Amino acid sequence: MGPSRVRLAGWGFRHASRRAWAVRDVDLEIEPGERMLLTGASGSGKSTLLRALGGLLVPESGDAEGVLTVDGGLPDRRRHRVGMVFQDPDSQLVMTRSGDDVAFGLENAGLPPERIWPAVDAALDAVGFDLGRDRPTAALSGGQKQRLVLAGALAPRPGLLVLDEPTAQLDPGGADLVRSAVARAVGDRAATLVVVDHDVEAWLPLVDRVVELLPSGGVVEHAPGWAPAPLRFPSRRPSAPAELLLTAERAGYTHRGSSAPALCPTDAALSAGRTLAVTGPNGSGKSTLALLLAGLRPPTTGRVVAAPPLTAGLRNPARPPSRWRAADLVDRIGTVFQQPEHQFLTGRVRDELSLGPLRSGTGATAAGRLADELLERLGLSSLGDANPFTLSGGQQRRLSVATALATRPRVLVLDEPTFGQDRDTWAELVALLAEQQDGERALCLVTHDAAVVAALADDVLHLGVPAAVG
Protein backbone atom coordinates (compact mmCIF):
# COMPACT_ATOMS: atom_id res chain seq x y z
CA MET A 1 0.00 0.00 0.00
CA GLY A 2 3.01 2.30 0.15
CA PRO A 3 4.20 4.74 2.83
CA SER A 4 1.67 6.17 5.27
CA ARG A 5 0.37 9.69 5.64
CA VAL A 6 -0.09 10.99 9.21
CA ARG A 7 -2.29 13.91 10.21
CA LEU A 8 -2.81 15.50 13.64
CA ALA A 9 -5.12 18.48 14.16
CA GLY A 10 -5.55 19.96 17.63
CA TRP A 11 -4.67 16.54 19.01
CA GLY A 12 -4.00 15.93 22.69
CA PHE A 13 -4.11 13.16 25.28
CA ARG A 14 -4.50 13.06 29.06
CA HIS A 15 -3.76 9.86 30.96
CA ALA A 16 -6.58 8.54 33.11
CA SER A 17 -4.76 9.16 36.40
CA ARG A 18 -3.64 12.73 35.62
CA ARG A 19 -5.16 16.19 35.73
CA ALA A 20 -2.61 17.67 33.35
CA TRP A 21 -2.52 16.80 29.67
CA ALA A 22 0.45 14.67 28.59
CA VAL A 23 0.45 16.38 25.19
CA ARG A 24 -1.87 18.96 23.65
CA ASP A 25 -2.60 21.22 20.65
CA VAL A 26 -0.54 19.21 18.18
CA ASP A 27 -1.04 20.23 14.54
CA LEU A 28 1.18 18.19 12.26
CA GLU A 29 1.20 16.67 8.78
CA ILE A 30 3.70 13.94 7.91
CA GLU A 31 3.87 13.19 4.21
CA PRO A 32 4.25 9.65 2.85
CA GLY A 33 7.89 8.59 2.85
CA GLU A 34 9.10 11.42 5.08
CA ARG A 35 11.66 10.81 7.80
CA MET A 36 10.94 12.87 10.89
CA LEU A 37 12.82 13.23 14.18
CA LEU A 38 10.55 14.14 17.09
CA THR A 39 12.27 15.96 19.96
CA GLY A 40 11.14 17.70 23.12
CA ALA A 41 11.80 18.00 26.82
CA SER A 42 11.59 14.92 29.01
CA GLY A 43 7.91 14.50 29.86
CA SER A 44 6.65 16.56 26.91
CA GLY A 45 4.61 13.62 25.60
CA LYS A 46 6.83 12.14 22.88
CA SER A 47 6.27 8.50 23.86
CA THR A 48 2.56 9.17 24.35
CA LEU A 49 2.32 10.49 20.80
CA LEU A 50 4.22 7.51 19.41
CA ARG A 51 1.96 5.06 21.23
CA ALA A 52 -1.02 6.92 19.79
CA LEU A 53 0.39 6.55 16.27
CA GLY A 54 0.70 2.82 16.89
CA GLY A 55 -2.92 2.53 18.04
CA LEU A 56 -1.85 1.55 21.56
CA LEU A 57 -3.83 4.19 23.49
CA VAL A 58 -7.13 2.45 24.20
CA PRO A 59 -10.11 4.65 25.20
CA GLU A 60 -10.04 3.56 28.85
CA SER A 61 -6.41 4.66 29.22
CA GLY A 62 -7.33 8.34 29.13
CA ASP A 63 -9.00 11.24 27.31
CA ALA A 64 -8.16 12.22 23.75
CA GLU A 65 -9.06 15.38 21.88
CA GLY A 66 -8.69 16.56 18.30
CA VAL A 67 -7.88 14.44 15.27
CA LEU A 68 -5.17 11.84 14.68
CA THR A 69 -5.28 9.71 11.55
CA VAL A 70 -2.94 7.26 9.84
CA ASP A 71 -3.78 6.82 6.16
CA GLY A 72 -7.03 8.63 6.80
CA GLY A 73 -8.27 6.28 9.53
CA LEU A 74 -8.06 5.94 13.30
CA PRO A 75 -4.74 4.43 14.45
CA ASP A 76 -6.36 1.46 16.23
CA ARG A 77 -7.82 0.46 12.84
CA ARG A 78 -4.39 0.82 11.18
CA ARG A 79 -2.21 -1.18 13.58
CA HIS A 80 -1.31 -3.58 10.77
CA ARG A 81 0.25 -0.60 8.94
CA VAL A 82 2.55 0.41 11.81
CA GLY A 83 5.85 -1.14 12.87
CA MET A 84 7.09 -0.09 16.31
CA VAL A 85 10.46 -0.43 18.05
CA PHE A 86 10.87 0.58 21.70
CA GLN A 87 13.84 1.35 23.97
CA ASP A 88 14.30 -2.13 25.44
CA PRO A 89 14.66 -4.90 22.84
CA ASP A 90 14.13 -7.62 25.46
CA SER A 91 10.58 -6.36 25.97
CA GLN A 92 9.77 -7.16 22.32
CA LEU A 93 11.59 -10.46 21.78
CA VAL A 94 9.15 -13.37 22.13
CA MET A 95 10.88 -16.40 20.59
CA THR A 96 14.12 -18.22 21.35
CA ARG A 97 15.35 -18.42 17.72
CA SER A 98 16.11 -15.26 15.76
CA GLY A 99 14.25 -16.30 12.60
CA ASP A 100 11.20 -17.42 14.58
CA ASP A 101 11.03 -14.04 16.30
CA VAL A 102 10.83 -12.20 12.97
CA ALA A 103 8.30 -14.74 11.67
CA PHE A 104 6.06 -14.38 14.73
CA GLY A 105 4.27 -11.25 13.53
CA LEU A 106 3.86 -12.60 10.02
CA GLU A 107 2.28 -15.79 11.31
CA ASN A 108 -0.11 -13.80 13.50
CA ALA A 109 -1.06 -11.72 10.46
CA GLY A 110 -2.04 -14.90 8.61
CA LEU A 111 0.62 -14.74 5.91
CA PRO A 112 0.74 -18.01 3.93
CA PRO A 113 3.62 -20.23 5.13
CA GLU A 114 5.35 -20.21 1.73
CA ARG A 115 5.68 -16.42 1.94
CA ILE A 116 6.84 -16.17 5.55
CA TRP A 117 10.47 -17.25 5.28
CA PRO A 118 11.30 -15.18 2.18
CA ALA A 119 9.86 -12.18 4.06
CA VAL A 120 11.93 -13.05 7.14
CA ASP A 121 15.13 -13.30 5.11
CA ALA A 122 14.41 -10.02 3.32
CA ALA A 123 13.85 -8.23 6.66
CA LEU A 124 17.01 -9.68 8.21
CA ASP A 125 19.00 -8.62 5.15
CA ALA A 126 17.48 -5.11 5.26
CA VAL A 127 18.86 -4.49 8.77
CA GLY A 128 22.22 -6.19 8.20
CA PHE A 129 21.51 -9.11 10.56
CA ASP A 130 23.87 -11.77 9.19
CA LEU A 131 23.89 -14.25 12.08
CA GLY A 132 21.28 -16.56 10.57
CA ARG A 133 17.75 -17.62 11.50
CA ASP A 134 18.94 -20.21 14.04
CA ARG A 135 20.95 -17.88 16.27
CA PRO A 136 19.47 -18.03 19.82
CA THR A 137 18.07 -14.65 20.83
CA ALA A 138 19.60 -15.09 24.30
CA ALA A 139 23.07 -15.14 22.71
CA LEU A 140 22.68 -11.76 21.00
CA SER A 141 24.24 -8.48 22.11
CA GLY A 142 22.06 -5.46 22.76
CA GLY A 143 22.70 -4.03 19.31
CA GLN A 144 22.00 -7.36 17.63
CA LYS A 145 18.74 -7.72 19.57
CA GLN A 146 17.62 -4.25 18.54
CA ARG A 147 18.37 -4.95 14.87
CA LEU A 148 16.40 -8.19 15.17
CA VAL A 149 13.45 -6.32 16.68
CA LEU A 150 13.72 -3.81 13.84
CA ALA A 151 13.62 -6.68 11.33
CA GLY A 152 10.46 -7.98 13.02
CA ALA A 153 8.87 -4.53 12.70
CA LEU A 154 9.84 -4.28 9.01
CA ALA A 155 8.90 -7.82 7.92
CA PRO A 156 5.16 -7.05 7.44
CA ARG A 157 6.22 -4.07 5.25
CA PRO A 158 4.57 -1.35 7.37
CA GLY A 159 3.64 1.99 5.92
CA LEU A 160 4.74 3.75 9.12
CA LEU A 161 7.85 2.89 11.16
CA VAL A 162 7.85 4.35 14.69
CA LEU A 163 11.03 4.22 16.81
CA ASP A 164 11.02 5.25 20.47
CA GLU A 165 14.64 5.83 21.57
CA PRO A 166 15.83 2.67 19.82
CA THR A 167 19.51 3.25 20.71
CA ALA A 168 19.06 4.42 24.31
CA GLN A 169 20.33 1.22 25.94
CA LEU A 170 23.09 0.46 23.45
CA ASP A 171 26.83 1.03 23.46
CA PRO A 172 28.10 3.47 20.79
CA GLY A 173 28.98 0.71 18.35
CA GLY A 174 25.58 -0.96 18.71
CA ALA A 175 23.82 2.40 18.32
CA ASP A 176 25.72 3.09 15.09
CA LEU A 177 24.69 -0.30 13.73
CA VAL A 178 21.01 0.30 14.53
CA ARG A 179 21.01 3.74 12.90
CA SER A 180 22.70 2.27 9.83
CA ALA A 181 20.09 -0.49 9.75
CA VAL A 182 17.28 2.07 9.92
CA ALA A 183 18.84 4.15 7.13
CA ARG A 184 19.16 1.04 4.95
CA ALA A 185 15.65 -0.15 5.74
CA VAL A 186 13.93 3.14 4.82
CA GLY A 187 16.30 4.05 2.03
CA ASP A 188 13.67 3.40 -0.64
CA ARG A 189 11.12 5.53 1.27
CA ALA A 190 8.64 2.66 1.19
CA ALA A 191 7.81 3.54 4.81
CA THR A 192 7.30 6.84 6.63
CA LEU A 193 9.67 7.18 9.60
CA VAL A 194 9.04 8.87 12.95
CA VAL A 195 11.85 8.53 15.48
CA VAL A 196 12.30 9.86 19.02
CA ASP A 197 15.84 9.97 20.39
CA HIS A 198 17.69 12.33 22.73
CA ASP A 199 20.90 11.71 20.74
CA VAL A 200 19.73 14.32 18.24
CA GLU A 201 23.01 14.96 16.40
CA ALA A 202 23.41 11.30 15.45
CA TRP A 203 20.02 11.22 13.68
CA LEU A 204 20.17 14.58 11.88
CA PRO A 205 21.90 13.18 8.74
CA LEU A 206 19.18 10.52 8.42
CA VAL A 207 16.01 12.64 8.66
CA ASP A 208 14.23 15.27 6.58
CA ARG A 209 12.57 17.21 9.40
CA VAL A 210 12.98 17.93 13.09
CA VAL A 211 9.80 18.72 15.03
CA GLU A 212 9.86 19.63 18.72
CA LEU A 213 6.98 18.98 21.11
CA LEU A 214 6.60 21.90 23.50
CA PRO A 215 5.80 21.21 27.19
CA SER A 216 3.20 23.98 27.10
CA GLY A 217 1.47 22.41 24.12
CA GLY A 218 1.89 22.60 20.37
CA VAL A 219 4.93 21.97 18.21
CA VAL A 220 7.68 23.96 16.54
CA GLU A 221 9.51 22.87 13.42
CA HIS A 222 13.24 23.53 13.26
CA ALA A 223 14.79 24.91 10.09
CA PRO A 224 17.24 22.85 7.99
CA GLY A 225 20.71 23.00 9.50
CA TRP A 226 19.34 23.37 13.03
CA ALA A 227 21.50 21.93 15.80
CA PRO A 228 20.72 21.61 19.52
CA ALA A 229 22.47 23.77 22.08
CA PRO A 230 25.68 22.27 23.51
CA LEU A 231 25.51 20.37 26.79
CA ARG A 232 26.23 22.36 29.94
CA PHE A 233 28.94 20.75 32.08
CA PRO A 234 29.23 21.48 35.81
CA SER A 235 32.44 22.94 37.14
CA ARG A 236 34.84 20.29 38.39
CA ARG A 237 36.41 20.45 41.84
CA PRO A 238 39.81 18.81 42.41
CA SER A 239 39.43 15.46 44.19
CA ALA A 240 41.77 15.14 47.14
CA PRO A 241 42.91 11.65 48.20
CA ALA A 242 40.40 10.19 50.63
CA GLU A 243 39.49 6.96 52.38
CA LEU A 244 38.64 3.73 50.62
CA LEU A 245 35.00 2.69 51.09
CA LEU A 246 34.28 -0.35 48.89
CA THR A 247 36.27 -2.77 46.74
CA ALA A 248 35.62 -5.61 44.33
CA GLU A 249 38.44 -8.16 44.46
CA ARG A 250 38.38 -10.47 41.41
CA ALA A 251 34.60 -10.38 41.71
CA GLY A 252 32.76 -12.22 38.95
CA TYR A 253 29.36 -13.71 38.33
CA THR A 254 27.95 -16.64 36.37
CA HIS A 255 24.23 -17.30 36.21
CA ARG A 256 23.10 -20.70 37.49
CA GLY A 257 23.02 -23.21 34.66
CA SER A 258 25.17 -21.06 32.37
CA SER A 259 28.67 -21.92 31.19
CA ALA A 260 29.49 -18.36 30.19
CA PRO A 261 30.24 -15.70 32.81
CA ALA A 262 28.03 -12.62 32.94
CA LEU A 263 31.00 -10.82 34.51
CA CYS A 264 34.62 -11.98 34.37
CA PRO A 265 36.69 -11.57 37.57
CA THR A 266 37.05 -7.83 38.04
CA ASP A 267 38.81 -5.46 40.44
CA ALA A 268 37.29 -2.09 41.32
CA ALA A 269 37.81 0.43 44.10
CA LEU A 270 35.42 3.15 45.28
CA SER A 271 36.98 5.91 47.36
CA ALA A 272 35.38 8.89 49.06
CA GLY A 273 35.55 12.01 46.92
CA ARG A 274 36.15 10.16 43.66
CA THR A 275 33.91 8.99 40.84
CA LEU A 276 34.49 5.73 38.97
CA ALA A 277 32.89 5.39 35.53
CA VAL A 278 32.34 1.81 34.32
CA THR A 279 32.15 1.63 30.54
CA GLY A 280 32.17 -1.07 27.88
CA PRO A 281 29.99 -2.68 25.22
CA ASN A 282 26.65 -4.36 25.83
CA GLY A 283 27.20 -7.80 27.32
CA SER A 284 30.41 -6.92 29.16
CA GLY A 285 28.83 -7.21 32.61
CA LYS A 286 28.60 -3.54 33.62
CA SER A 287 25.14 -3.85 35.20
CA THR A 288 26.17 -7.11 36.88
CA LEU A 289 29.16 -5.39 38.46
CA ALA A 290 26.83 -2.61 39.65
CA LEU A 291 24.60 -5.16 41.38
CA LEU A 292 27.62 -6.76 43.10
CA LEU A 293 28.98 -3.42 44.31
CA ALA A 294 25.52 -2.38 45.52
CA GLY A 295 25.23 -5.52 47.67
CA LEU A 296 22.18 -6.71 45.74
CA ARG A 297 23.82 -9.89 44.48
CA PRO A 298 26.72 -11.93 45.87
CA PRO A 299 29.58 -12.67 43.46
CA THR A 300 30.07 -16.29 42.40
CA THR A 301 33.85 -15.74 42.31
CA GLY A 302 35.98 -13.31 44.27
CA ARG A 303 34.46 -10.95 46.83
CA VAL A 304 33.13 -7.46 47.53
CA VAL A 305 34.59 -5.87 50.67
CA ALA A 306 33.27 -2.87 52.59
CA ALA A 307 35.98 -0.88 54.36
CA PRO A 308 35.64 0.19 58.05
CA PRO A 309 34.37 3.72 57.27
CA LEU A 310 31.38 2.10 55.52
CA THR A 311 30.74 -0.62 58.11
CA ALA A 312 30.82 1.61 61.20
CA GLY A 313 27.78 0.88 63.37
CA LEU A 314 27.02 -2.55 61.87
CA ARG A 315 26.46 -5.46 64.22
CA ASN A 316 28.54 -7.78 61.99
CA PRO A 317 30.95 -5.52 60.08
CA ALA A 318 32.83 -8.48 58.58
CA ARG A 319 29.82 -9.54 56.51
CA PRO A 320 29.83 -8.58 52.80
CA PRO A 321 27.24 -6.01 51.67
CA SER A 322 25.12 -8.73 50.04
CA ARG A 323 24.40 -10.09 53.56
CA TRP A 324 23.54 -6.78 55.21
CA ARG A 325 20.03 -6.02 56.43
CA ALA A 326 18.04 -3.89 53.99
CA ALA A 327 17.94 -0.96 56.42
CA ASP A 328 21.73 -1.05 56.81
CA LEU A 329 22.26 -1.26 53.05
CA VAL A 330 20.02 1.67 52.13
CA ASP A 331 21.77 3.90 54.67
CA ARG A 332 25.21 3.13 53.21
CA ILE A 333 24.85 2.29 49.50
CA GLY A 334 22.37 4.07 47.23
CA THR A 335 21.45 2.32 44.00
CA VAL A 336 19.84 3.19 40.67
CA PHE A 337 18.81 0.19 38.58
CA GLN A 338 19.08 0.05 34.79
CA GLN A 339 15.27 -0.29 34.71
CA PRO A 340 14.05 2.36 37.20
CA GLU A 341 10.53 0.97 37.49
CA HIS A 342 11.98 -2.15 39.15
CA GLN A 343 12.81 -0.19 42.32
CA PHE A 344 9.59 1.76 42.91
CA LEU A 345 7.68 0.63 46.00
CA THR A 346 4.86 3.14 46.51
CA GLY A 347 1.99 4.59 44.53
CA ARG A 348 3.00 8.25 44.84
CA VAL A 349 6.14 10.10 43.72
CA ARG A 350 6.46 12.12 46.96
CA ASP A 351 6.05 8.95 49.06
CA GLU A 352 8.75 7.23 47.00
CA LEU A 353 11.22 9.96 47.93
CA SER A 354 10.22 9.98 51.61
CA LEU A 355 10.36 6.20 52.06
CA GLY A 356 14.13 5.81 52.43
CA PRO A 357 14.63 8.67 54.88
CA LEU A 358 11.65 7.50 56.99
CA ARG A 359 13.07 3.97 57.17
CA SER A 360 16.39 5.48 58.24
CA GLY A 361 14.78 7.25 61.17
CA THR A 362 14.29 10.70 59.68
CA GLY A 363 11.18 12.43 61.02
CA ALA A 364 8.17 12.86 58.76
CA THR A 365 8.55 16.64 58.53
CA ALA A 366 12.22 16.47 57.56
CA ALA A 367 11.59 13.61 55.11
CA GLY A 368 8.81 15.60 53.45
CA ARG A 369 11.01 18.69 53.21
CA LEU A 370 13.80 16.67 51.60
CA ALA A 371 11.36 15.12 49.13
CA ASP A 372 10.09 18.56 48.10
CA GLU A 373 13.64 19.85 47.63
CA LEU A 374 14.55 16.95 45.35
CA LEU A 375 11.30 17.25 43.40
CA GLU A 376 11.98 20.94 42.79
CA ARG A 377 15.60 20.35 41.83
CA LEU A 378 14.80 17.69 39.25
CA GLY A 379 11.74 19.32 37.71
CA LEU A 380 9.22 16.89 39.21
CA SER A 381 7.31 19.20 41.58
CA SER A 382 4.10 19.07 39.55
CA LEU A 383 4.19 15.26 39.70
CA GLY A 384 4.45 14.80 43.49
CA ASP A 385 1.05 13.12 43.69
CA ALA A 386 1.45 11.05 40.50
CA ASN A 387 2.00 7.31 40.44
CA PRO A 388 5.70 6.63 39.65
CA PHE A 389 4.72 3.99 37.11
CA THR A 390 2.85 6.59 35.01
CA LEU A 391 5.89 8.87 34.55
CA SER A 392 7.80 9.10 31.31
CA GLY A 393 11.05 7.14 31.04
CA GLY A 394 13.17 10.25 31.65
CA GLN A 395 11.06 11.28 34.65
CA GLN A 396 11.30 7.78 36.12
CA ARG A 397 15.08 7.93 35.77
CA ARG A 398 15.28 11.27 37.60
CA LEU A 399 13.02 9.94 40.35
CA SER A 400 15.17 6.84 40.79
CA VAL A 401 18.31 8.98 41.11
CA ALA A 402 16.55 11.20 43.65
CA THR A 403 15.52 8.18 45.77
CA ALA A 404 19.15 7.00 45.80
CA LEU A 405 20.29 10.42 47.01
CA ALA A 406 17.54 10.86 49.60
CA THR A 407 19.25 8.90 52.41
CA ARG A 408 22.65 10.51 51.68
CA PRO A 409 24.57 7.21 51.55
CA ARG A 410 28.37 7.16 51.48
CA VAL A 411 28.41 5.12 48.25
CA LEU A 412 26.26 5.71 45.16
CA VAL A 413 26.05 3.04 42.44
CA LEU A 414 24.14 4.44 39.47
CA ASP A 415 23.35 2.40 36.35
CA GLU A 416 22.81 4.71 33.34
CA PRO A 417 21.76 7.69 35.49
CA THR A 418 21.37 10.09 32.53
CA PHE A 419 19.25 7.78 30.38
CA GLY A 420 16.23 9.44 28.70
CA GLN A 421 17.10 13.05 29.55
CA ASP A 422 16.80 16.13 27.38
CA ARG A 423 19.69 18.59 27.45
CA ASP A 424 18.32 20.73 30.29
CA THR A 425 17.41 17.84 32.60
CA TRP A 426 20.73 16.16 31.74
CA ALA A 427 22.58 19.27 32.86
CA GLU A 428 20.57 19.57 36.10
CA LEU A 429 21.00 15.87 36.90
CA VAL A 430 24.75 15.95 36.24
CA ALA A 431 25.10 19.11 38.33
CA LEU A 432 23.30 17.37 41.20
CA LEU A 433 25.63 14.38 40.93
CA ALA A 434 28.63 16.72 40.85
CA GLU A 435 27.49 18.09 44.20
CA GLN A 436 27.85 14.58 45.65
CA GLN A 437 31.59 14.75 44.85
CA ASP A 438 32.18 16.49 48.16
CA GLY A 439 34.88 14.32 49.66
CA GLU A 440 32.46 12.23 51.71
CA ARG A 441 30.92 10.04 49.02
CA ALA A 442 32.12 7.59 46.41
CA LEU A 443 30.25 7.46 43.10
CA CYS A 444 30.16 4.59 40.62
CA LEU A 445 28.53 5.42 37.27
CA VAL A 446 27.74 2.61 34.81
CA THR A 447 27.19 4.39 31.53
CA HIS A 448 27.36 4.54 27.74
CA ASP A 449 27.14 8.34 27.98
CA ALA A 450 30.57 9.70 27.01
CA ALA A 451 29.52 13.20 28.05
CA VAL A 452 28.77 12.19 31.63
CA VAL A 453 32.13 10.39 31.80
CA ALA A 454 33.85 13.59 30.66
CA ALA A 455 31.83 15.68 33.12
CA LEU A 456 32.19 13.59 36.28
CA ALA A 457 34.67 10.71 36.14
CA ASP A 458 37.96 10.69 38.03
CA ASP A 459 38.69 7.09 37.05
CA VAL A 460 37.41 4.87 34.22
CA LEU A 461 37.07 1.08 34.30
CA HIS A 462 36.46 -0.32 30.81
CA LEU A 463 35.04 -3.85 30.66
CA GLY A 464 35.32 -6.18 27.69
CA VAL A 465 32.82 -8.81 26.58
CA PRO A 466 33.70 -12.27 27.98
CA ALA A 467 35.15 -14.42 25.19
CA ALA A 468 32.49 -17.11 25.59
CA VAL A 469 29.73 -14.52 25.10
CA GLY A 470 31.17 -12.66 22.13
Q: Where are the alpha helices (DSSP H) in 186-267?
A: 200-203
- Report the chain (470 residues): mean pLDDT per 10 consecutive residues: 94 87 95 95 90 89 94 91 88 92 91 92 89 88 86 92 88 86 90 93 94 93 88 77 91 86 94 94 89 95 96 92 90 85 84 84 84 87 87 86 89 91 89 87 94 94 70
Topology alike, domains 6-222 and 244-307+315-462: yes
Is the separation of the CB atoms in 335 and 404 below 8 Å?
yes
What is the pLDDT at residue 283? 81
Output the pTM of the full model. 0.84
| Distance from C-alpha of 170 to C-alpha of 141, rounded to nearest angstrom | 9
Q: How many Cα atoms occupy the beta-carbon half-sphere of 356 within 13 Å? A: 26
Collapse the DSSP code of 411 into the 3-class scheme (helix H, G, I; strand E, B; otherwise coil) and give the result: strand
What is the pLDDT at residue 345? 85
CA 426, chain centre distance (Å): 13
What is the pLDDT at residue 91? 85
Annotated domain spans of the chain: 6-222, 244-307+315-462
Q: Which CATH fold topology does 244-307+315-462 show?
A: Rossmann fold (3.40.50)
Angle between helices 393-406 and 349-359 (to 10 degrees): 20
Q: How many CB atoms lie within 10 A of CB 78?
A: 21
| Distance from C-alpha of 6 to C-alpha of 194, rounded to nearest angstrom | 10
Which one, of 169, 199, 167, 141, lies nearest residue 446 by Cα? 169
Q: How many CB atoms lie within 10 A of CB 313?
A: 9
Q: For 132-155, how does the pLDDT look when each residue is reduced to its tens digit (9 = 90+)? A: 999 899 878 777 888 899 999 999
Q: Is 180 exposed, middle or buried (0-12, 13-18, 19+ CB in 10 A)?
A: middle
CATH superfamily of 6-222: P-loop containing nucleotide triphosphate hydrolases (3.40.50.300)
Collapse the DSSP code of 362 into the 3-class scheme (helix H, G, I; strand E, B; otherwise coil) and give the result: coil
What is the pLDDT at residue 241? 65
What is the pLDDT at residue 295? 95
What is the pLDDT at residue 327? 84
Nearby residues of 145 by Cβ (< 8 Å), 6 or more positions away? 89, 90, 93, 137
| Distance from C-alpha of 243 to C-alpha of 442, rounded to nearest angstrom | 10
CA 189, chain centre distance (Å): 28
